[in-house]
Amino acid sequence: MLKTHNCGELRSSHSGQSVTLAGWVHRRRDHGGLIFIDLRDREGITQVVFNPELSSSPHSIATDLRNEFVIQIIGKVKKRPSGTENSKLPTGEIEIIASEIKIYNASKTPPFYINEEVDVDESLLLRYRYLQLRRAKLRDNMLLRHRVIKFMRDFLDERGFVEIETPIMIKSTPEGARDYLVPSRVHPGQFYALPQSPQQLKQLLMVAGFEKYYQIARCFRDEDQRADRQPEFTQLDLEMSFVDEEDILGLLEEMFTSLIETVTPGIRLTKPFPRMTYAEVMDRYGTDKPDIRFGLEIKDISAILTDSEFAVFKSALQNKGTVRGICLPGCANYSHKQIEELTEIARNCGAKGLISMAWTAGDGQQDINSLQIEKIKSVAAKYLKAEQIKEILAVFKASPGDLVLVAAGDRGLVNKILDELRREMGKRLNLCAPNFMSFLFITDFPLFDWNEERKMWDSTHHPFTAPFEADIPLLEADPGKVRARHYDIVCNGYELSSGSIRIHNRALQEKVFNILGYEKQDVEAKFGNFLEALEYGAPPHGGIAPGIDRLLMLLTNSKTIRDVMAFPKNQAASDLMTDAPSAISDQQLKELHLRIIHD
């Protein structure tokens, strides 16, 4: 190689050795006489000194060096003079006294600092992503990504899993999002779909007898972009035969635990992973992806308010809705402006408003027994009996100084509002412990969700998920009551993985398609081959697919998954570096039998 050591490697034990290093000029300091270069490569930074008295020609070349020039230097490792060591750098006890230098390439002045993580417009960073990747944070994220994926591969390999690639150009799979489509040149008017996940293919690998499969699988979904979404993303896709829920969840718990303890030992996690049913998380947190690093749990106070004359509560309860809330410790003195900000969050979810009840502290009040009703500040207070107020505060286990936020209305809406408020307050009250991964297993999801727009059932997960054996008789009679053998892994408020035990029998699979409203011909056209495979000795099987980008986003405490991907797209699904998507030539359109309609 053009170097003998990397830039993160040398220590005082190397003193006196002659070495060759190569890398980028990270920083240059000219001390009128001595020139200091911080030389950077992937592994770190080493200080190089050019002394005009020892070697005049390299020194004069060094005078012309600018940031990001690519150079090679030859020199001797020397312990730094005492008092000049840099304890922040692993190589900070030594420097290289350069005797030779070669410039491999100059560099234009980069459009942003590489040697400082100064915030600049993200589109500039994305346009010059290869330069942003030189910055320490992104570089470290990518190196961590490599180690995480390698850990997963080794872990699964040791347990008998086989890595198998599945095609990228497939027939559309129903995962609930829009497909990215690829037009076929040889089949006019026909399209491949990019996989939203290799779901059917991995099930077919079980039919094929592989028993334990995994793949670092790229998935493509044409959805609106968010901080934790990209049009293409990576899952650790896995599938096993002859297993039940416990086998999959046990494997995943062991994998995540040992991965974090080995690869990111600075991060703590709860062991064993807590478990909740879907009904329980919805009740306690109003969402199926709660951040359980903190409490602020939702409480239902509908039962206390059945005879309430307060219009907001009354109309909610009359319309089969609910009244629920959360208690914010120590927030009773929130200003009008702060309450307004929280109310705005509720409005953005579709609520008309939010009811707050502040229990202002003081005057010897210690608990509900010593509560002075006039200390409760709320528009609802005058409509409520003292007993009701006390009961409400008791449900929330409130103390003087607390603020209770209450939402009333349709249960789905109320849950949405309280989930948003919980998340916001978790941040504002600093309740989200850093460097802590709070995993949660959720089980017992409903198999179907009612889609009010289509007036039909949708799969909560996907149509291949098996129902609870005991609930099969309900499939036709009461589909909404059927529980699914579906499990999710949630971490710090993000859905990290979904998976399920699958249907492995044709008749049951057909019945589920039928409940989902697929016409017979449609099922045949879309899933005929898959259904046929189930008739050739399909074993019982199940799997899961943890999102690798989301996992890394959490491990690196990043705000977006863009920070853990080498070349992500922006919020508008464009790649600003290569300018994709872009128009294609008329010739290409013709070959693909396509005509663009501009509207």
Residue numbers at the binding site for ligand ASP (CB under 6 A): 175, 197, 199, 498-500, 543-545
Instruction: State the Cα–Cα distance between residues 61 and 55, nearest whole angstrom.
Output: 11
Q: Taking the complex as a whole, how short is the minimal distance between the CB of residue 498 and ligand ASP, in angstroms?
A: 4
Q: Which CB, 59 or 541, lies closer to ligand ASP?
A: 541
Q: Which CB, 132 or 199, lies closer to ligand ASP?
A: 199
Contact 70, 24 (CB under 8 A): yes
Contact 390, 371 (CB under 8 A): yes
Q: Which amino acid is at 325?
A: G
Contact 219, 236 (CB under 8 A): no
Instruction: State the Cα–Cα distance between residues 523 and 508, nearest whole angstrom.
Output: 13
Q: Which CB, 174 or 426, lies closer to ligand ASP?
A: 174
- Taking Cα atoms as reference points, which of 418, 413, 397, 437 lies closest to residue 292? 437
Q: Which CB, 438 or 500, lies closer to ligand ASP?
A: 500
Backbone angles phi, psi at 578, to 5 degrees: -100, -5
Q: Taking the complex as a whole, how short is the minimal distance between the CB of residue 83 and ligand ASP, in angstroms?
A: 57
Q: Taking the complex as a whole, how short is the minimal distance between the CB of residue 142 and ligand ASP, in angstroms?
A: 24
Q: Which CB, 68 or 488, lies closer to ligand ASP?
A: 488
Q: Are strands 70-79 and 44-50 parallel, antiparallel or unpaired?
A: unpaired
Q: Taking the complex as a whole, how short is the minimal distance between the CB of residue 467 and ligand ASP, in angstroms?
A: 15
Q: Which CB, 199 or 356, lies closer to ligand ASP?
A: 199
Q: Taking the complex as a whole, how short is the minimal distance between the CB of residue 549 and ligand ASP, in angstroms?
A: 13
Element (H, E) at 231: none
Q: Taking the complex as a whole, how short is the minimal distance between the CB of residue 216 and ligand ASP, in angstroms?
A: 14
Q: Which amino acid is at 358?
A: A
Q: Taking the complex as a whole, how short is the minimal distance between the CB of residue 267 and ligand ASP, in angstroms?
A: 24
How distant, in Å, are the alpha carbons of 64, 172, 219, 250, 581 from that of 190?
Answer: 59, 12, 21, 43, 21
Instruction: State the Cα–Cα distance between residues 514 and 459, nearest whole angstrom.
Output: 12
Backbone angles phi, psi at 134, to 5 degrees: -75, -25
Q: Taking the complex as a whole, how short is the minimal distance between the CB of residue 492 and ligand ASP, in angstroms?
A: 19
Torsion over CA of 163, 210, 527 and 185, rounded to 10 degrees? 40
Q: Which CB, 163 or 476, lies closer to ligand ASP?
A: 163
- Helices 548-555, 136-158: inter-axial angle, 10-degree rounding: 120
- Taking Cα atoms as reference points, which of 55, 22, 59, 54 lies closest to residue 41? 22
* Residues paired with residue 268 on neighbouring β-strands, in sequence order: 436
Q: Taking the complex as a whole, how short is the minimal distance between the CB of residue 515 and ligand ASP, in angstroms?
A: 19
Instruction: State the Cα–Cα distance between residues 299 and 9, nearest whole angstrom.
Output: 56
Q: Which CB, 55 or 200, lies closer to ligand ASP?
A: 200
Q: Six-digit token pair at 199? A: 């779901």
Q: Which CB, 500 or 558, lies closer to ligand ASP?
A: 500
Q: Taking the complex as a whole, how short is the minimal distance between the CB of residue 543 and ligand ASP, in angstroms?
A: 4
Q: Taking the complex as a whole, how short is the minimal distance between the CB of residue 460 and ligand ASP, in angstroms?
A: 11
How distant, in Å, are the alpha carbons of 51, 222, 312, 374, 427 from that of 338?
Answer: 60, 37, 22, 22, 14
Q: Taking the complex as a whole, how short is the minimal distance between the CB of residue 248 and ligand ASP, in angstroms?
A: 9
- Helices 520-533, 506-515: inter-axial angle, 10-degree rounding: 150
Q: Which amino acid is at 119?
A: D
Q: Which CB, 28 or 541, lies closer to ligand ASP?
A: 541
Q: Which CB, 168 or 429, lies closer to ligand ASP?
A: 168
Q: Taking the complex as a whole, how short is the minimal distance between the CB of residue 206 and ligand ASP, in angstroms?
A: 11
User: What residues contact residue 259 under an 8 Å CB cut-off, 6+ apart?
Assistant: 148, 151, 152, 155
Element (H, E) at 119: none
Q: Which CB, 174 or 286, lies closer to ligand ASP?
A: 174
Q: Quick check: bond before 581 cis, omega within 30?
A: yes
- Taking Cα atoms as reference points, which of 11, 31, 4, 155 lies closest to residue 23? 4
* Residues paired with residue 40 on neighbouring β-strands, in sequence order: 24, 45
* Residues paired with residue 488 on neighbouring β-strands, in sequence order: 442, 498
Q: Taking the complex as a whole, how short is the minimal distance between the CB of residue 367 and ligand ASP, in angstroms?
A: 47
Q: Taking the complex as a whole, how short is the minimal distance between the CB of residue 171 and ligand ASP, in angstroms?
A: 15
Helix residue ranges, H only, 8-107: 56-63
Q: Which CB, 94 or 545, lies closer to ligand ASP?
A: 545
Q: Which CB, 236 or 389, lies closer to ligand ASP?
A: 236
Instruction: State the Cα–Cα distance between residues 136 and 510, nearest whole angstrom.
Output: 53
Q: Which CB, 97 or 208, lies closer to ligand ASP?
A: 208
User: What residues contact residue 95 under an 8 Å CB cut-off, 6+ apart?
Assistant: 36, 46, 47, 48, 49, 77, 78, 80
Instruction: State the Cα–Cα distance between residues 139 and 308, nearest whole angstrom.
Output: 59
